Structure 1
Amino acid sequence: MSRPALFSIAAALCLSACTTTAPLTTRAPIASQVPPPTVLVPERYVSADNPGDEIDSLATWPAEDGHTWLIATAKSSHSLVVFDADTGERMRSVGGKGDGPGEFLRPNGIAIYGNHLFVAERDNHRVQVLLLPDFTPLSTFGADQLRSPYGLWIHESAPAEYEVYVTDSFMEGERYDVVPPLDQLDRRVRRYRVTFADPSHFLVRDEGSFGDTSEAKALRIVESIAGDPARQRLLVADEYTSDEGGGHPSNLREYTFDGKPTGRELPAGTFEAEAEGVALWSCTPDIGYWVAADQRYPQTHFLLFERDSLAPRGSFMGEVTAHTDGIALHAAATAAFPYGALFAVHDDEAVAAFDLGDVVRALALDPACAP
């Protein structure tokens, strides 16, 4: 992963809407299981390379003309790139370097709810909100609390009211490559409540931060975060890996919506490289899978886990997709993807698309995910 001063965490965020809610129940620890071999699922397309962008995170939006947009953050060009999700054709770019409305400085995380687009800007230390389809800048928030915001996930807690979770991977040292002391890691995820009075005006309330500070389960380097509204739980990807002191392999860690760690994580060694983009594939209120990118070399492996138990359900890779940071799972049908699609960053320069119907067949998943 290309990282200034040894790191530049990237991932993306994907929204998976689910309107039913239920309290988190106590779950048994995840049993260590030997996962089945990774299978090949060819990409339906890989877009043209554009090395000047340094694409990081992805989100989808159903446009009013019936097309689906795939919107990516581009860190090096300080912009957003809009693709046709069905073809991978580059449609336009938005923004440019700066700290004014509609400008960005190292945009990283991205999330969309309704017509509202949220962008986490690492080097502007803020979240900017824009209104689609014209990318009209509305306002920003978080500059008084955020130091190095990376990932975003949004949940509609009430009509016109969003809970916004922002991962904050601030570091220390001259090169900003030193993980802070444990007692500072309770600030790895910041919560905001954003209430819209109308589509163009909103109020923001800071609801504090959270993060485990124990030696074994602290969130050391974070970006990707995703949630399951029906289960009231979050998965946070910790990218940090170390072989010292017994080792701290990269992993996904589970939290409740109010920021309490459940103590659950995947078995050590699940990720051979770094845990990157994570998304929920909600097929029905009861059936679904978590999808996470394992940034292995030379190709990314996409790992699937059962929605409730987090038991491994299989993995796949494409023919070329590599160096994946962000992913976006679009479960709704589009013209080219009747069963939906998984979109992934390819080598920081392009986007790749996988047909979810192909994934269901290759991994023998529940048929409800490809009706």
Structure 2
Amino acid sequence: MSSFSLIRAACVALLLGGCASLSPPPAPPSAAAATPQARAPHPDAVVKEAWISSAHPEDELDSLAVWPTEQGGAWVIATAKSGNQLLVFDADTGQRLRTVGGPGDGPGQFRRPNGIAVWGDTLFVVERDNHRVQALSLPDFTPLGFIGAETLKVPYGIWVQETAPDTLELLVTDSFMADFRAGLLPPRALMDQRVRRYTVSLPPEGGLSAVETGSFGDTGDAGMLHMVESIAGDPAHERLLIAEEDRRVGSTLREYTMDGRYAGRSLPVFDADAEGVALWDCDVDSGWWVATDQTRPTLFRVYDRASLAPVGTFSGQVVADTDGVALYVAGTPRFPDGALFVQHDNRALAAFDLRDIAAALHLHGACLP
């Protein structure tokens, strides 16, 4: 991998899947789901959006990833669930640059794309209705191959880490149900398949190979993943945060270890759905987590990276009903200390300058001026 690719790899964008449905299937019945979308409680701060893109309501935007360009800027790549394609935006301006793909099950085609992640110059797209992860090379979006088509049922979110040179581990959430319309969960014995592991090799000469290496999910009441979507990891603290979206048990983020064991802790219940989650890392082991509470306006919850103690909440002036987020710390001409990119109301993207968030919540760290 080139030095430039290593820089990109260090800035991997977490994707993080958002709430979706089987064209779409109704959410499981619950008192929370039967009420109007929750309004956010009063946030600790209101942060003005740096930009909001043009609206694309027909595409039903969901999850985001960031790829740094050779020119020093970056692209924000968004999955479009109803459009069955990807949309590419300029990270500094929010300008829509291009669309990629279309409906189908062939290479370069998508059905209900949801979670998305970038590692180096490789893009991974989770396709819920094609039951697979598709890998493409950047910047030309050349298809490289498929992952998990033999085992994935209803995949949503994805997180990627490097485990050896040219070797990655993919964790993909799989929110299959016994009966979607009735809100019926699979048998308890199958709940250990909520997150699937894949080892992916990307040799320098090109191509891709992948093998499934197991699955995990707690089968006890406290740590079970009933309806699972977003997932993000922090190897420095041996931690995974996984979004539990079933409001019947309380939507939250559950803490798992990197080897797939429930760590015995879940964050306090969110007001609406726990959606996108991203790590804001300042150095080897300090920084914060930013998580989406899908309220109107969206409430962004910020936690200390090491302790998971809450450090504050903020909302934008406009952003609402957010699914996916991507946090980019490498910096661009407009955002020299990084930015948080978020989906807005299923139809647009928005950006927050990390300096503005830090100032509003009085955050201090090695990554801040």
**TM-score normalised per structure 1:** 0.88
TM-superposition CA deviations, 1:240-259 (whole Å, max 9, x none): 111xxxxx111111112221
C-alpha distance in 2 between matches for 1:241 and 1:369: 35
Q: How many residues align?
A: 337
Kept in 2, the 8 Å contact 1:323–1:348? The answer is: yes
Change (3 A) 1:370 1:259: same
- Stretches of 4+ moved more than 6 A in 1? none
1:13 counterpart residue number: none
From 25, 34, 52, give the equivalent of 1:5.
25
C-alpha distance in 1 between matches for 2:56 and 2:203: 39
**TM-score normalised per structure 2:** 0.88
1:308 counterpart residue number: 306
Kept in 2, the 8 Å contact 1:321–1:347? The answer is: yes
1:216 counterpart residue number: 222
Share of identical aligned residues, percent?
A: 55
1:19 counterpart residue number: none
SS at match of 2:82: coil
C-alpha distance in 2 between matches for 1:179 and 1:302: 29
Change (3 A) 1:174 1:193: closer
SS at match of 1:198: coil
C-alpha distance in 1 between matches for 2:138 and 2:157: 20
2:252 counterpart residue number: 251
Kept in 2, the 8 Å contact 1:110–1:118? The answer is: yes
TM-superposition CA deviations, 1:289-314 (whole Å, max 9, x none): 01100011x21000011111110010
SS at match of 1:43: coil
From 353, 356, 366, give the equivalent of 2:354.
356
TM-superposition CA deviations, 1:245-297 (whole Å, max 9, x none): xxx11111111222111112113x3x11110000110011131101100011x
C-alpha distance in 2 between matches for 1:232 and 1:309: 12
SS at match of 1:6: coil
Kept in 1, the 8 Å contact 2:43–2:299? The answer is: no
1:162 counterpart residue number: 168
2:7 counterpart residue number: none
SS at match of 1:175: coil
Partner amino acid, structure 2, of 1:358: D
From 183, 206, 211, give the equivalent of 2:212.
206
Kept in 2, the 8 Å contact 1:360–1:369? The answer is: no
The Cα shift of 1:200 comes to 2.5
The Cα shift of 1:87 comes to 0.3
Aligned Cα root-mean-square deviation (Å) = 1.6
From 47, 58, 76, give the equivalent of 1:70.
76
Change (3 A) 1:176 1:329: farther
The Cα shift of 1:175 comes to 3.0
Kept in 2, the 8 Å contact 1:5–1:176? The answer is: no
1:14 counterpart residue number: none
C-alpha distance in 2 between matches for 1:284 and 1:213: 35
2:33 counterpart residue number: none
Kept in 2, the 8 Å contact 1:56–1:75? The answer is: yes
* Structure 1 stretch displaced more, 249-258 or 145-154: 249-258
TM-superposition CA deviations, 1:160-194 (whole Å, max 9, x none): 11010000011122637422232221110000111
For structure 1, the 5+ residue unaligned runs are 9-34, 243-247
TM-superposition CA deviations, 1:302-347 (whole Å, max 9, x none): 0011111110010100011011000000011101111100000000
C-alpha distance in 2 between matches for 1:360 and 1:266: 22
